[in-house]
Structure 1
Amino acid sequence: MSMSAYGDGELLSMARRGNTAARAELWDRADTDVEYGHGDYLVRLLVEHGIARPTNTLTRAGESVAAHYRRRRER
């Protein structure tokens, strides 16, 4: 099952147990929320729970997932 099929709560639980894919999905969702102006609640929640940003995501290159897909659509 794709990580996008899980809810934030399920992913948070998985990420707290060390699941890297869940951690990456949560940070991608958090970046997308911020990018689209939906607030930074998820970012604050991840920081509060000590869930570090993965180093191998698009955001490492300074680009959120939302920006990545927007750029792809604009081509």
Structure 2
Amino acid sequence: MYKVLIVIATIIISILPFVDLESNYNEKEIRLGMSGPFSGNLKFLGEEFLLGANLYFKFINAKGGIYGRSLRVIN
């Protein structure tokens, strides 16, 4: 167990210098990705999920978004 924690900590520490936390913060929108069944037999389900997400994001954006930033779904 101790060795596993050491390996995980080493991986996290080695990845941190490559993470750019500030690059997208100044943008005016928050983009959230969505994966779902957008083709095939379950296409209707994916379309309904997308409609629901867009409806909720429209509600949030009408109230000013999150810290002044609007939400958008990317599918």
Superposition TM-score, scaled by structure 1 size:
0.36
Q: TM-score, normalised by structure 2?
A: 0.36
| Structure with the larger RCO, 1 or 2 (CA within 8 Å, 6+ apart) | 2
Structure (1 or 2) with the larger CA radius of gyration:
2
| Greater helix content | 1
